[in-house]
Amino acid sequence: MSHYYRSIFLIRIIQLEVKELVPMAPEAFKAEIKRRGWEPELLAIRWAMSKRRVHQIIADGDRPRYYDDAVVALPAILK
């Protein structure tokens, strides 16, 4: 098998393994924030944005996926 065809074969395999990113539902997003001990007001301070913007992000089921990643990576607040 030539290098060219082997490369195409490998690319095809890789494409089949790529999974679609499923966005976190607004309820799940909010629950993850709460589970880690955060409140939207504290998150607004940490992310340097208004409380209103944080609430918009939470409610948006079509938010950019990097917000989902950011919430999952939040440090837990111990009370």
Query: pLDDT for 26-64, tens place per residue?
Result: 999 999 999 999 999 999 999 999 999 999 999 999 999
Contact 26, 15 (CB under 8 A): no
For the chain, percent helix, then strand, then coil, each to nearest 5? 60, 0, 40
Rounded to a whole number of angstroms, the distance between the first and last alpha carbons of the chain is 61
Q: Is pTM beyond 0.85 here?
A: no
Longest dimension (CA), the chain: 61
Let me know: does 36 contact 76? Beta carbons within 8 Å: yes
Say what the alpha-carbon torsion angle 34, 79, 75, 25 is, to the nearest 10 degrees: 0
Residue 79: pLDDT band (50, 70, 90) is: confident
- Amino acid found at 40: P
